[in-house]
Structure 1
């Protein structure tokens, strides 16, 4: 079994090929620009790891992994438009660099290209992989819509937020592992355990992201803390705080959410500290990680084959960047 870093380097080399024709350059250059910005390539490598957990990596896995990465980048291009985000990975977003109309088209054609790679799969796999890919794509869109719906609501429950994050973030991680497992020859029970492992890792990953935005070291995290607070984003931290604050704290928090006062971040962080939200987030994150590891431990495969996935889970959940 190869580590995440080893497979990540191999996938980066494989993915560095050109995925689009030269013309019209006004359509395809934006996609080449966006893909050149890099990224963790987490989801496609999970697909490869899911395959290798059960057997030698098949040629089809590289096509599925490429389709997954193209789909993920398609969602990022469109998310940036919806969020009116000026930067992605420290560089101008596609719509900021090339215009919103071109960014929409560029994202669309990136999705189309993802299906081209799935279409290259062996006939024995294509129907099953396509079903999971389409189901997951639909769920990611549902999660994004719920996320936008929540922006105008102040009564979002923790369970609602958990459902949204599961759709927006976790299902693609889980499906990437599951599609790899199918290519590796896993049976239905093991595929479900692998999927549940991915779901729980996705929740822990998002909780750590929310935590770092509020409490992370800006030198390591790459941005000043409190970006989510300034944007009034619904996060694990905010939703939980709204559930447990007293009436006085709730009034202050709702006031802060309705304003952009200079000390907004500092005052919200103080409320988080008063409610011990940071400690709660660390504990809850460990709950999701433990659940994830329980799922993978139940897969009846030699422990050394599962270790790279367990190592990656710990890295994702305990990262400080």
Structure 2
């Protein structure tokens, strides 16, 4: 078993033993349902692995790891309401199962639970941890608002999009590794380096997610072509719009709304444009650049290379998903 797999098992056991109240049932049952959904546990794992680079004892990081996972799942409950999403991780979303009002209130309770978990962190480090967590939490909300704003914008630039996904995706990863490093006793410069590492990793991860949404395999757990059918402003769409002539741009703008086309035809038409404009290759190029930049940052840390290896392996496992 790899070191990160051992940490994952430890975290899963800890989270399973975390007790939530049972009443009122409609407030707390959705929380347990959401957290039992699994997923990659990306954020708590980054936190634990960062901590483990600087100390052998990662147990003090478990409450913070649980806090970032609970916070992440809170954002998913509210995202599903905003996106009118019926499915999350292959099963009904909390919004679909219990309704909008329950999803709102349970989400609100989750963020309170996250702060309660954070209060169990080492007291001397709590001011630093809270500062990182609060900044991260607010930036995630900013990113979500930009994402919603883009739905109404006719033109979104690559720079605007990258800023949005940095806020919506990367800063939560960056906050997690920074908190883990703080608990592990890392020097401030290493904390800053790990923050930048996670920003680059998060960008690569989100760009890969954009690519796999159109060119992946349904075994990955979601329907292929969903972003195209929703007319979402993804990196692929924005890149295609920047490279296309006006008639092609108009095709990209109107295809997802064309009632005369089946879903399969809509996906095929847009992907044909992507292929013609070399969008998949350009996206893969960006993914590679950002991922390699992230790994290079690990080489600049003050610890021995062997101490960074579990985090490196975990990052590589994330980016090793196949089309």
Aligned ranges 1:86-235 → 2 under 5 Å: 86-218=86-218, 220-235=219-234
Query: Which of 268, 286, 289 pairs up with 1:287?
Result: 289
2:318 paired residue number = 316
Give yes or no for contact 1:200–1:292 (8 Å, CA) kept in 2: yes
Shift in Å at residue 64 of structure 1?
0.5
Unaligned runs of 5+ in 1: none
Query: Which of 278, 281, 289 pairs up with 2:280?
Result: 278
The secondary structure found in structure 1 opposite 2:319 is helix
Shift in Å at residue 55 of structure 1?
1.3
Give yes or no for contact 1:226–1:265 (8 Å, CA) kept in 2: yes
Unaligned runs of 5+ in 2: none
Shift in Å at residue 258 of structure 1?
4.3
Give yes or no for contact 2:90–2:221 (8 Å, CA) kept in 1: no
Shift in Å at residue 154 of structure 1?
1.9
Shift in Å at residue 58 of structure 1?
3.9
Shift in Å at residue 153 of structure 1?
1.0
Shift in Å at residue 139 of structure 1?
0.3
TM-score under structure 2 length normalisation: 0.95
User: 1:21-51 deviations in whole A, cap 9, x for unaligned?
Assistant: 1211121112112222221111011111010
Separation in 1 of the partners of 2:53 and 2:121?
20
Give yes or no for contact 2:144–2:168 (8 Å, CA) kept in 1: yes
Give yes or no for contact 2:166–2:203 (8 Å, CA) kept in 1: yes
Give yes or no for contact 2:89–2:221 (8 Å, CA) kept in 1: no
Separation in 1 of the partners of 2:17 and 2:150?
39
Cα 1:18/1:52, change in 2 over 3 Å? closer
| Residue 249 (str. 1) matches residue 251 (str. 2) | no
Give yes or no for contact 2:231–2:253 (8 Å, CA) kept in 1: no
The secondary structure found in structure 1 opposite 2:168 is helix
Shift in Å at residue 209 of structure 1?
0.6
User: 1:199-234 deviations in whole A, cap 9, x for unaligned?
Assistant: 00000000111111111122x323332110001111
The secondary structure found in structure 1 opposite 2:17 is coil
The secondary structure found in structure 2 opposite 1:138 is helix
The secondary structure found in structure 2 opposite 1:96 is helix
Give yes or no for contact 1:208–1:318 (8 Å, CA) kept in 2: no
Give yes or no for contact 2:70–2:113 (8 Å, CA) kept in 1: yes
1:266 paired residue number = 268
Aligned ranges 1:43-62 → 2 under 5 Å: 43-62=43-62
Tell me whether 208-217 or 15-24 shows the greater mean CA deviation.
Answer: 15-24
Aligned residues: 320
Separation in 2 of the partners of 1:181 and 1:155?
39
Give yes or no for contact 1:201–1:288 (8 Å, CA) kept in 2: yes
TM-score under structure 1 length normalisation: 0.96
